[in-house]
Chain A
Amino acid sequence: MTTYAHQPLFMTGDEFSMATFSLLDPEGELYEGAKEPDLPRDHARRLYQAMLATRILDERMMAAQRQGRLSFYMQSTGEEAAVVGATAALDDTDMIMAQYREQGALMYRGFSIDEFMNQLFGNELDYGKGRQMPIHYGSRKLHYMTISSPLATQIPQATGYAYGQKLAGHGHCTLTFFGEGAASEGDFHAALNMASVHQVPVIFFCRNNGYAISTPSSEQFAADGIAPRAFGYHMHVIRVDGNDALAVYEATRQARQIAVEHNKPVLIEAMSYRLAAHSSSDDPSGYRAKSEEEAWRLKDPILRMQKWLLKKGWWSEEEETSQQETLRREVLDTMKRAEKRSPPPFDSLITDVYADITPELQRQFDQLKRHIRRYPEAYPRGARSLDLEVNTTTDSEGDA
């Protein structure tokens, strides 16, 4: 319906204010007037344990990267509640299409430490066959799409995936994670518009962690965050405290209802902070103050959830200590195993480009094999796969 005004009226969006939904304060107490979500004990413990396990995995693997055992790593430190809280509110068979900092979602769904390690070390058991850099996980059985480095490409794909789910009619939805930086890509806008136009059961989950590598969100957008963009697409939207696992859980649970029961997309903006560097290749001291990081450290999402659980008597200090010790040991043990495993088979170099290997590619591969037979020492991985003698122990050169 068109309405007319006869005086010019410009609007900026400041007419709307976007509150942040939060339930737990930093001490793990419910805010006054906040209603505790219906989250049973076991479910709450599973959520917390996945957050804790993610933190420990990240700490250990970053240390391993610093020791030169791993070429690259990305931590999700500070954002565990946003990622795990959202995942815990989904059905375990809903699709997740993540950006790259969402290992917590896999942890929650039961990706084993071995499975993490096999990908990180690109060994013969890596589902991705050693083709992608560390942290590019994927799991078909856990409904977690393999990560792609180019930013925001997964967002319109999530719209398409969810449209297919709607047609299939099994009551599933797709949740896609992305950062506030990636939301600047054209793909983000295309995704939201198409989801709204076609009434698709997809949840767009923005981790607003303040930084896209070095670029602060103040240089990423002029508006009040990402959430208000939903208005332009006539989409349900909520902003949530991303360091409050309970609030994230409840917001996502309700978003899922809207998506699945009404076939409507929802945008969630989780306000958080990337406590660690962008990646092992980054050093934040060049672009942000330590004091800023310290202020956010006080809002640690894991401590907040832990305090709440302790108060409810659903978790204990002893469990905390033993879980941490067990996990640390498991990470170290599995890392040693994963490092020692063989690389993926040599023909993984040419498989999966197409469903079938093309004759031309086979010709190139045969030529490569002849070459390696002539110089086995120069290509230890390829040579070993061809059962050639290799008199060298170093085959990990070239790591950045």
Chain B
Amino acid sequence: MPTMNMLQAINNALDIAMAEDEKVICFGEDVGVFGGVFRATSHLQEKYGKARCFNTPLVEQGIIGFANGLAAQGSVPVAEIQFADYIFPAFDQIVNETAKFRYRSGDLFNVGGLTIRTPYGGGIAGGLYHSQSPEAYFTHTPGLKVVVPRNPYQAKGLLLASIRDPDPVLFLEPKRLYRASVGDVPQEDYQLPIGEAEVIKEGTDITLVGWGAQMEVIGKAVELAEEQGIACEVIDLRSLLPWDADTVVESVLKTGRLIVSHEAPLTGGFAGEIAATVQERCFLYLESPIARVTGLDTPFPLVLEKEYMPDHLKIFEAIRESVNF
């Protein structure tokens, strides 16, 4: 089985989707000849021509508006927004258009073919505008699906599923892992399910939930906890919308403890949604308060990034507090 980094896995998924279906069209800023600023679309223009893989003018609202129209026509657009921090000019198109196309037309029209790919997250000394995790703005939008892969294998399978999904998907790529995360990825076509979490490690004492780049951080914290004899169950949510409450609830019914971690600020973050649902469904089984280990309620910093980040030590401390409650 070949080894790929996350960018190669994404590129490979796009290649497979474009080869299989000539309706699949990739575009965005610098996506053409250059292959994107992170090179996720390398060689796609060469292979499939300028009509199916191209640079757009520098206008995010235009990119997504164009993508909505293209999807409504029956094509399968895969639009790239260069950084998730720059998705906001397209917010109107995504929230008011993409998400509501099917509903408002009584299913006469839909943009289900649309996938929006965008790199998110910190840890790259990117400061305010190259580090944000904007998932919670979008998880508050019925009609969208929100998917976040944690490694190259997941990225390929989830991206192929997103492109073929009958609903529009916002596919958030953890850019800190683009080259750092390397693993075995089958060369052939495969899909991973949207809307299903994955239990990546079983344990009996406490449940840890995260997604994307945060899974690596949770993994490090779990190593520290296991050294102290704490058996952790680790769940990668993979899809935030819809999210797999059943898998999380089932785990918490077993462990009685839950920690959710994300880089985005605490207040209004998606961890709050998970905590609310779990306390509703597991109230009498909880052994300690559900804890959230997240970024601070500030814009994303630069020099003090390390202090800001919900790192493995902060998660480890939260685990200890939870089990010693």
Chain A positions within 8 Å of B, measured between CB atoms, are 71-72, 122, 130-133, 136, 148-151, 181-182, 184-187, 212-215, 219-221, 281-282, 286-287, 343-344, 346, 348-350, 353, 358, 360-361, 364-365, 368, 371-372, 374-375, 378-379, 381-382, 397-400
Contacts and interface: CB of A to CB of B under 8 A. Distances in A.
21 contacts: A131-B127, A131-B128, A131-B302, A133-B125, A148-B129, A149-B85, A150-B129, A184-B57, A213-B34, A213-B37, A214-B37, A215-B32, A215-B58, A220-B58, A348-B304, A350-B298, A353-B297, A360-B267, A378-B313, A382-B307, A398-B125
Nearest to B298: A353
Given A353-B298, A374-B317, A150 B85 contact: yes
A130 B125 contact: no
A166 B59 CA distance: 30
A215 B58 CA distance: 9
Contacts of B317: 371, 374
Contact of B57 (A71, A131, A221, A346): A221
Contacts of A287: 33-34
B297 A344 contact: no
A182 B129 CA distance: 16
B313 A133 contact: no
A220 to B, nearest CB: 5
Nearest to A383: B307
A136 B125 CA distance: 14
Nearest to B82: A213
Interface string B170-201: 00000000000000000000000000000000
Interface in B21-38: 29-30, 32-35, 37
Nearest to A343: B303
Interface string B75-114: 0000000000110110000000000000000000000000
B306 A381 contact: yes
A214 B31 CA distance: 9
A400 B125 contact: yes
A364 B32 contact: no
A400 B303 contact: no
Interface in B103-159: 123-130
A133 B314 contact: no
B301 interface: yes
Contacts of B58: 151, 181-182, 184-185, 212, 215, 220
B253 interface: no
A390 to B, nearest CB: 13
Contacts of B203: none
A13 B110 CA distance: 36
A259 to B, nearest CB: 26
Count chain A CB atoms within 10 A of each CB in B34, B61, B124, B303 and give the residue with the most: B303
Contacts of A185: 58-61, 89
A112 B35 CA distance: 39
Contacts of B29: 212-213, 215
A400 B35 CA distance: 20
Contacts of B62: 184, 186
Contacts of A71: 125
Contacts of A187: 89
A383 to B, nearest CB: 9
A129 to B, nearest CB: 8
B306 A399 contact: no
Interface string B50-65: 0000110111111000
B15 interface: no
B305 interface: yes
B245 interface: no
